Amino acid sequence: MEHVREPFAGPVLSYGKQAMNVGYDGTLRMLEALGLEPHPDGMLDPPPADEYIDFARLVRLLGLGELQTLDVAGYEGAEIIADLNAPVPPELIGRFGSIIDGGTMEHVFDIRQGMKNTADMLRPGGRVVHISPANNYVNHGFVQLSPALYHDYYVANGFDDVRGIMIVQPRAGILSTDWSFFEYDHATMGGADSMFCSEETQLAVYFTARKNPGSTSDRVPAQSSRDTRSNPFVIAHNPGTPNVRPIDLPGVEANAVLHELVHVGFGSGRPPAKI
């Protein structure tokens, strides 16, 4: 969906190997539903129908070239071995058109350095996507991340197109049950203690921002809404929260597309392919 709104650019860097819970045929159908023409590079040597695709194939299907993966160790075959707690090597600065953090930043102890590395590795015009746990993910990583962290960091450092989506997930059956999505509006949702989630619900945050030629990476923000309080609301997976704005993509089932193509990977195991 994000690629429909504004196409990503390569080269693409992924933090760790990203899981995909959809097969090749299902991916082609979803791209068709989104009005995207699959790139021939992604259609070479298609996998068996009963196997899930990997994220690298999705990147090729989108015409973004060969995916590169960064990890702290090489056990999953990452092309780049680096620790985001330390400054990345100079040869990685300004190298990537897109960076996908599908669930890494919460595992980085020095988040300030991890965010700076991310901003530094993007080229001007490049975009970053973060997908992180926000609530009811105790001990999944070192921290659970509020959307305000991403919003305030990228605004302070001169990025634009700064926007977020809250992902509402059930604690039971997280990989086999549809999720709910709503837009994060910092002006009305960014106040202290503005969001709570029910006991049976988990929250994750999807955040994206675009680097400008004059963007920086070392500015430390003050929390922009620390002195204001939004009207707090409880977010429940079922029934859905009534006073937030759901994601609307005409002609496309948003739950299916986002659940399958933007898999967060916070659970364990894989459900049967649904599409």
pLDDT tens figures, 52-100 = 889 999 999 999 999 999 999 998 899 999 999 999 999 999 999 999 9
The answer to whether 190 and 151 have CB atoms below 8 angstroms apart is: yes
Q: What CATH class has 9-261?
A: alpha beta
pTM (predicted TM-score): 0.84
What pLDDT digit, counting tens, does each position of 218-256 carry? 999 988 865 555 555 556 554 444 444 444 443 334 444
Q: Which residues pair with 167 in a beta bridge?
A: 181, 204
The whole-number pLDDT of residue 1 equals 67
Structure tokens at 51: 């196997």
Q: What is the pLDDT of residue 139?
A: 84
**222-232 in b/e burial notation, b at 16+ Cβ within 10 A?**
eebbeeeebee
